[in-house]
Amino acid sequence: MKRLLPLLVLCGLLAAQTSLEYKEKYKDPVHAKIKALRENAETEENDPGEKPEYTLFASLAGMEYPVSQDIFTTCFHFPPKHQGLTSTCWAHAGISFIESEVQKKQNTEIKLSVMYVVYHEYLEKALAFIESKGKQELRLGSQISSVFDIADTWGLVPEADYTGNPTPEGFDTKAMTDALRACLDEMSGQNNWDKDLAVPAIRAILDKHLGKVPETVSYGGKTYTPKNFYKKVLKFRPMQYTAIQSTLSHPFFEYRELPFPDNWRHDDMYLNLPVDAFYHAIRRAVKDGCTVPIGGDTSEPGYNRYAGIAFIPVADVPADDIDDDVREYRIYGGSTGDDHAVHIVGYAEFNGEDWFLIKDSSRSAYTSDHPGYYFYRGDYIRLKMLTAVLPNEYVGY
């Protein structure tokens, strides 16, 4: 018994120091309702005998973190809107950024259509499949920079002019992408790569599921094409901004391709910076009153949907040890991936640490006490965020 007591005390100390814990995996009720609408069925109840799934979380025990948006100095942005069952975070983040920039530079609040961008993104993806003779697959994801490419080619429109046919519970693009892939597979099987014949079939599918895009919009008593609305009313100029990344796979201070599959356009205009320069450019821009769209990984134990915060626990790596090597190790190993895009809309210093207010279109952002938002600690951005878009003056290299 005397030998057992020290062992029990030691086990208790180890348990108290544990910084990771398993929690039951969350099942989103809104997603369940959207899935039920696909089949015109009632939402299925969970089987009481079903074995629960668990996922790893970083423990919040003893940790001090922001619990309210009120501590943040914020910039103008429209309220968050969830993306439903779609892979359109890049469009939500990019459009939200343009909305904030238009208000900042012109003092004009214009809510823009996200799904207008999504419509043309899928049109361009389908055309890329045709032009490459099936080598360029029709992927679901994309990049924030794609919003700028689409805006330059197709323009933008107010949300009131194009809603994109959401279900009562939110957006769902599965039927549309299934139909597009079936159409493209049929063309491929017939060895039919005629783009002129493909476009009407592709647009018919997009029109059915998202609705026809408007040829003109009215604003301020005038009529505009989407391209003229973008150029003459919004006056957003992508050349005033720089996309940045941070990876050891490219030389620093050069513009190179972002090496992830969602960069399906193979955009090579990402300025590659060391992680310290990458992070401080973002921090400086946000502290100066800019909003910043960012993209990266959201699959870590420190990404806590219940508290609505993201941080790097010591069980992973101490914050002071995050450098280019530590960051690249996770990129190379695949634990840091291009999962999600969000929009930084505020900043606070809390207990001597940087915290960023994140506007997030993912349903995971709607389970905390500040729905539609996450609070990212600075170490999470340093280690896990892959890209950002900043005004040129903050990346003057």
315-347 burial string, b = 16+ CB within 10 Å, else e? ebbebeebebebbbebbeeeebbbbbbbbbbbb
Query: Is the per-residue pLDDT at 269 higher than 80?
Result: yes
Q: Give the C-alpha separation, 235 to 265, whole Å.
A: 24
> What is the enclosing helix (H) or strand (E) of 181?
helix 174-189
User: Cβ contacts of residue 210 below 8 Å, gap of 6+?
Assistant: 115, 118, 119, 164, 165, 176
Task: Fill in the DSSP letter of residue 2.
Answer: T
> What is the enclosing helix (H) or strand (E) of 204?
helix 195-210
Tens of pLDDT, residue by residue over 111-168, are 999 999 999 999 999 999 999 999 999 989 999 999 999 999 999 999 999 999 999 9
Residue 343: strand pairing partners: 293, 359
- In 3-state terms, the chain is what percent helix, strand and coil (to 5)? 40, 20, 40
For residue 153, give the 3-state DSSP assignment.
helix
- Report the DSSP pairing between strands 309-310 and 373-377: parallel
Q: What average pLDDT does the structure give for the chain?
A: 92
211: its two tokens:
């609705």
* Torsion sign (Cα): 335, 341, 344, 350: negative
Task: Fill in the DSSP letter of residue 180.
Answer: H
Contact assessment for residue 164 and residue 171, using Cβ atoms and an 8 Å cutoff: yes
The pLDDT of 175-180, averaged and rounded, is 96
The amino acid at 30: V
Q: Give the C-alpha separation, 292 to 265, whole Å.
A: 22
Greater model confidence, 395 or 44:
395
CA angle 335, 94, 102 (to 5 degrees): 150
Span of 43-47, 324-328, 339-343 with lowest mean pLDDT: 43-47
Span of 29-38, 239-248, 259-268 with lowest mean pLDDT: 29-38
User: Cβ contacts of residue 289 below 8 Å, gap of 6+?
Assistant: 75, 104
Nearest to residue 210, comparing CAs of 172, 242, 252, 244? 172
Q: Give the C-alpha separation, 102 to 240, whole Å.
A: 13
Please state the φ and ψ torsions of residue 40, each to the nearest 5 degrees: 55, 45
Tens of pLDDT, residue by residue over 23-69, are 888 888 889 899 898 877 655 555 556 788 898 999 998 899 999 99
The pLDDT of 89-98, averaged and rounded, is 98
Q: Could you give all domains of the chain from N- to C-terminal order, each with its CATH number?
A: 69-395 (3.90.70.10)
* Dihedral (Cα; 283, 287, 290, 296), 10-degree rounding: 30
